[in-house]
Structure 1
């Protein structure tokens, strides 16, 4: 490539990806759930859907060989990429230096498992009122990564992630649907999630045997009355999540049966929730009401 391309923002195509991988001695591993995007149009679309601008501070998890990283940097945004695989973390800055040299000083790379990231060990976002996560997440750990980061970073205000289509459906599911489960309802504690389009298999190397989809999420503001955590008498998140885990741990059971050691009969009554319902029919607001009722009876036994 010549340097005129670089100044215009050269994104990675299939040949670039294979060459960088070969240079770095990297082959995609099942262990880390790696599938690298080889289509510039797809990463530009992700960044466009995420609404990233030059004023944003972005976290990327699992940058891999840098396809999405370059598309994020192309907007003028500053970013921190969290990469678990040491050879990939080491290689990323030189890829940016080669393809988009003027953006090199806006990229920071952290070599660690995203599940271990905290505001203490990655303080880059500490001074931000709000930051956004944009990522092509490894299929096997997408949900725990999202819930962990939302729990640890109060200022993670939004995300746009590419995940396995099934995972996307679950994250955005609503009560009563077959796929509504623990991830759907826990994510709803923090804000609102929606599907933002499907991504075909042919944009990846290696091509996965499943389709991918985009999920857009917006966190509730602190004073948002729609938030189950809003107000001075909001229940503890830990208790709400314990109730959710127990209710969905035995999906076919009624709430009365699934929560019998945790929720006394009068708490169901106080919350106005019929104990013969199943967990999969409850909204996050109802789970929060139930937790609040349990706290006010002072009788939680689990």
Structure 2
């Protein structure tokens, strides 16, 4: 049985380690046991799941995950926190300590070969400043990730789960949709964190699906171009990518997309169709190149 960390435990442990939460690393530690239990429930884990936790910090969520999963890979950027996590788990969850592997390093650079057994679920309280690239990079790098539950800034949660046509629909929404179906899974108040952030957090649950037909890099380039000038019609916004407005219009018509629409109206499948329909930009034109 795991003994979860409360507010006093968090502060005592941080003081013993000489840890002061920093904005640079986006450190806001969850100190409410009910919140971490809620996160684990929302993740809908099976006993056979291998969990990847990014940014375990002092171990609040880790302790709640270990009894519910076959194994937990905890990836921590802060070397002091990474070196202390195993001892915290051994002290508070000795029956499950053998299920934990701690990795000291940057989650954006994790490779599948680093994680044995292969992770099947991502469950994490993600630093606000890197949440989107971490999720997208992990889904790209780890094809075994079948589902996830992440806690992010509420504004980011709204973007990741937005529907086409909404004001919050944009690049993160479309790119996540390449990999998975995402939905909001609840709001988390600031008071459950130490230090207390000045924004609410949100839970995002996602389940991987097969990507649409087409090339991911090419499709993502279309997404980037469409939202770089989101107030423009697709005919204008995609002109630089396609090699001119006429070429953009031709690709859009071929893909069955109205050139007068804006990017926020399209699904990821429609973006993929545009990418497949557009011919290569003329040699030496400079179009379609990204620095």
The two structures have a TM-score, normalised by structure 1, of 0.89
Structure 1 segment 64-213 matched on structure 2, within 5 A: 64-120=57-113, 122-125=114-117, 128=118, 131-213=120-202
The answer on whether the counterparts of 2:159 and 2:172 sit within 8 Å (CA) in structure 1 is yes
Deviation at 1:10, TM superposition (A): 0.8
Q: Distance in 2 between matches of 1:184 and 1:21?
A: 35
Matched, 1:57 2:57: no
Q: Distance in 1 between matches of 2:71 and 2:112?
A: 17
Deviation at 1:299, TM superposition (A): 4.7
The answer on whether the counterparts of 1:60 and 1:80 sit within 8 Å (CA) in structure 2 is yes
Deviation at 1:53, TM superposition (A): 3.3
Query: Deviation digits for residues 106-150 of structure 1, max 9, x if unmatched?
Result: 100000011111113x1324xx4x600000000010000000011
Query: Deviation digits for residues 55-83 of structure 1, max 9, x if unmatched?
Result: 11000000000000000012253111000
Q: Give 2:36's aligned residue.
A: 43
SS at match of 1:202: helix
State the superposition RMSD in angstroms.
1.3
Gapped regions of structure 2 (runs ≥ 5): none
Q: Distance in 1 between matches of 2:225 and 2:29?
A: 37
Q: Distance in 1 between matches of 2:253 and 2:189?
A: 48
Selected match of 1:257 from 223, 236, 240:
236
Q: Give 1:273's aligned residue.
A: 257
Gapped regions of structure 1 (runs ≥ 5): 1-7, 229-233
Q: Give 1:5's aligned residue.
A: none
Q: Distance in 2 between matches of 1:273 and 1:51?
A: 37
Distance 1:147 1:178, change over 3 A: same
Moved over 2 A (4+): 297-301
The answer on whether the counterparts of 2:123 and 2:148 sit within 8 Å (CA) in structure 1 is yes
SS at match of 2:167: coil
Q: Give 1:4's aligned residue.
A: none
